[in-house]
Structure 1
């Protein structure tokens, strides 16, 4: 490395970096990447206590969505996708599906990623008309191979998950599933064997 501190790379511009710098950076990235599931679960907990006017808080909504999917015997990837579908609410007030989709993209199938990315407009079928919007806005995607899966997610899980009396599984029930999903990305720009 090009400086005296062996804990950091020594370049000031990427153009000046070396193979040794990048070997060190990738070595340091492994433990950080390995704790991604912990950071995701911690961020999800930020939704606790945030009701936004809904009958249950946003964390309970996510847990209830995942519980419904789990009890319907959906596969583990789908259950975790259901749990994290609204994780973007804290930072993406106006585009939360896009934020969640960006976080989940390396770990999901193409279909499940499409479901997350488009769930907001599909869920709008159940309430957009009360806001003066077109409840059939999702029809612009009719013909897409993932339309039916997204409509199904909205109907069976997302729009049903606002029941304060539902026996919802706790976050620690889902934590091992999240850890397994985030342990190995399916797609990543930079990976290290």
Structure 2
């Protein structure tokens, strides 16, 4: 079989879906390479800062590692702006969706909310409320997201900071994005359906 015969999914057979599942599994195995390519592409995205988006991402991850963050959080720091190209107005949610099947819910929640929390530093210049994030103040991961932004994200626009290259982080990218998706070993009891992480990502305390 080279292609399935059905033209509507409801007409597919067990054999056809097994065939497609094999192709999907093989394609999914290439995710680390696609993540690394997407990160490299950040070198030529949003301009105007003293560092490129890639350098900002690398610097954020470097700072996280230097502060003793665990592997999942370092990876999250590395990919937190990976959605800038395709999702400039909700890049946080895109990055969170990418990382969600491979890390604990806390990490996903922080990445999902970091855009809102970053508003604290500049949104008042445009008439916005820098404290809008405070509606989440009772969430158990609120303070960790504050610290993610204060110590790593908003601080990582320094062209003189000794930032590690992407090659340094490549083994970590391959390690975590090669995990079995939604494995309870890494993400706990969350599933692909409605779960505690869906609730947490909506801003309601899990």
Q: TM-score, normalised by structure 1?
A: 0.91
Q: Tell me the secondary structure at the aligned position of residue 87 of structure 1.
A: coil
1:70-111 CA-to-partner distances (Å, cap 9, x unmatched) read 111211111100000000100011111111111111112111
**1:171 matched to which residue of 2?**
166
**2:182 matched to which residue of 1?**
186
1:65 aligns with 2:65: no
In structure 2, what is the Cα distance between the partners aligned to 1:30 and 1:102? 19
In structure 2, what is the Cα distance between the partners aligned to 1:41 and 1:146? 28
Bigger Rg, structure 1 or 2:
1
Q: Tell me the secondary structure at the aligned position of residue 88 of structure 1.
A: coil
For 1:15-164, list aligned pairs within 5 A: 15-164=10-159
Distance 1:111 1:99, change over 3 A: same
In structure 1, what is the Cα distance between the partners aligned to 2:7 and 2:125? 54
In structure 2, what is the Cα distance between the partners aligned to 1:149 and 1:186? 23
Displacement of 1:51: 4.4
* Gap regions ≥5 residues in structure 1: 1-5
In structure 2, what is the Cα distance between the partners aligned to 1:7 and 1:168? 47
Displacement of 1:145: 1.2
In structure 1, what is the Cα distance between the partners aligned to 2:119 and 2:11? 50
Displacement of 1:149: 1.0
* Gap regions ≥5 residues in structure 2: 184-190, 194-206
How many residues matched? Answer: 185
In structure 2, what is the Cα distance between the partners aligned to 1:189 and 1:32? 19
1:12 aligns with 2:1: no
Q: Tell me the secondary structure at the aligned position of residue 44 of structure 2.
A: coil
